[in-house]
Chains A and B, each alone.
Chain A
Amino acid sequence: MNLTLRVWRQKDANDPGKMVEYPANNIIPDMSFLEMLDVVNEGLIAKGEDPIAFDSDCREGICGTCSLVINGVAHGGQRGTTACQLHMRFFKDGDTITIEPWRARAFPVLKDLVTDRGAFDRIVQAGGFVSVNTGGTPDGNAIPVGKVESDLAMDAAACIGCGACVAACKNASAMLFVSAKVSHLSLLPQGKVEKNQRVLSMVKQMDKEGFGNCTVTGSCEAVCPKEISLNFIARMNREYGMATLKGADIKGRSGD
Chain B
Amino acid sequence: MKLDSKIPSGPLAQKWDKHKFDMKLVNPANKRKFDVIVVGSGLAGASSAATMAELGYRVKCFCFQDSPRRAHSIAAQGGINAAKNYQNDGDSVYRLFYDTIKGGDFRAREANVYRLAQVSVNIIDQCVAQGVPFAREYGGLLANRSFGGAQVSRTFYARGQTGQQLLLGAYQALCRQIGKGNVKMYPRTEMVDLVVVDGHAKGVIIRDLVTGEITAHAADAVVLATGGYGNVFYLSTNAKGCNVTATWRAYKKGAAFANPCYTQIHPTCIPVSGEHQSKLTLMSESLRNDGRVWVPKKKGDTRRPDQIPEEERDYVLERKYPSFGNLAPRDISSRAAKEVCDEGRGVGPGGLGVYLDFADAIKRLGEDTIRERYANLFDMYEKITGENAYKTPMRIYPAVHYTMGGSWVDYNLMSSIPGLFVIGEANFSDHGANRLGASALMQGLADGYFILPYTIGNYFASEKQPKPKLDHPEFKKAMEGVQALTKKLLSINGKRTVTSFHRELGKLMWDKCGMARSAESLKEALKRIPELRAEFWKNVKVTGEGAALNQDLEAAGRVADFLEFAELLCLDALTREESCGGHFRVEYQEEGEAKRDDEHFAFVSAWEYQGPDKPPILNKEPLVYEEVHMSTRSYK
Contact = CB atoms under 8 A, between A and B. Distances in A.
B44 to A, nearest CB: 13
B72 A59 contact: no
A254 to B, nearest CB: 9
Interface in B427-475: 449-450, 453
A144 B134 CA distance: 11
A138 B125 contact: yes
A178 to B, nearest CB: 14
Contact of A53 (B74, B122, B158, B551): B551
A124 B175 contact: yes
Contact of A51 (B175, B179, B551): B551
A161 B67 contact: yes
The listed residue with most A CB atoms (<10 A of its CB), out of B69, B165, B171, B499, is: B69
Contact of B278 (A35, A124, A129, A132): A35
B461 to A, nearest CB: 19
Given A34-B278, A38-B278, A60 B380 contact: yes
A45 B139 CA distance: 58
A184 B132 CA distance: 9
B126 interface: yes
Contact of B210 (A110, A124, A253): A110
B176 to A, nearest CB: 5
B239 interface: yes
A46 B380 CA distance: 33
Interface in B166-190: 168, 171-173, 175-176, 178-180, 185, 187
A204 to B, nearest CB: 13
B109 interface: no
A35 B164 CA distance: 24
B75 A129 contact: no
Given A62-B74, A134-B450, A154-B158, A160 B131 contact: no
Nearest to B126: A137
A87 interface: yes
A78 B386 CA distance: 13
A231 interface: no
Contacts of A137: 122, 125-126, 128-129
B486 interface: no
A185 interface: yes
B274 A117 contact: no
A131 B274 CA distance: 48
B172 A124 contact: yes
Contacts of B549: 12, 53, 110-111, 114
Nearest to A51: B552
Interface string A104-120: 00000011001011101
Nearest to B70: A63
Contacts of B551: 51, 53
B351 interface: no
B311 to A, nearest CB: 34
B141 A141 contact: yes
B21 interface: no
A124 B179 CA distance: 9
Contacts of B54: 133-134
A61 to B, nearest CB: 7
Interface stretch (B195-203, B335-343, B540-548, B625-633): B540-548
A212 B60 CA distance: 32
Given A134-B453, A137-B125, A45 B67 contact: no
Interface in A128-170: 128-135, 137-141, 143-147, 150-151, 153-154, 157-158, 160-161
Contacts of B8: none
Contacts, number: 225
B490 to A, nearest CB: 12
Contacts of A65: 65-66, 70
Contact of B176 (A48, A59, A125, A143): A125
Nearest to A157: B133
Interface in B123-143: 124-131, 133-142
Interface residues of B, number: 83
Greatest chain A CB density within 10 A among B125, B127, B449 is at: B125
Interface string B72-83: 101100000000
A190 interface: yes
A191 interface: yes
Contacts of B124: 140
B279 interface: yes
A144 to B, nearest CB: 3
A51 B135 CA distance: 43
Contacts of A56: 240
Contact of B129 (A50, A126, A130): A130
B175 A128 contact: yes
Contact of B69 (A28, A64, A127): A64
Interface string B528-558: 0000000000000101100011011000000
A17 to B, nearest CB: 14
B69 A121 contact: yes
B69 A141 contact: no
B161 interface: yes
Nearest to A54: B551
B281 interface: yes
A32 interface: yes
Nearest to B445: A134
Interface in B263-286: 273-274, 276-279, 281-282
Contact of A130 (B131, B383, B450): B131
A63 B142 contact: no
B159 interface: yes
A31 interface: yes
Nearest to B159: A154
B94 interface: no
Interface string B547-572: 01101100000000000000000000
Contacts of A139: 125
Given A57-B239, A144-B139, A121 B68 contact: yes
B278 A85 contact: no
B500 to A, nearest CB: 8
B444 to A, nearest CB: 14
Nearest to B449: A134
A39 interface: yes
Contact of A85 (B140, B384, B493): B384
User: Which residue among B187, B240, B282, B495 has the maximum number of chain A CB atoms within 10 Å of its CB?
Assistant: B240
A42 interface: yes
B497 interface: yes
Contacts of A256: 180
A146 B143 CA distance: 12
A80 interface: yes
Interface string A7-50: 00000100000000000000010111011001100101110111
Q: Return the 5 tightest CB-CB contacts between A and B, nearest first.
A: A144-B140, A129-B172, A137-B129, A125-B179, A154-B133
5 contacts: A38-B278, A124-B175, A129-B131, A140-B125, A154-B159
Given A28-B276, A51-B552, 6 more contacts: A30-B274, A44-B543, A58-B74, A134-B126, A134-B173, A135-B449
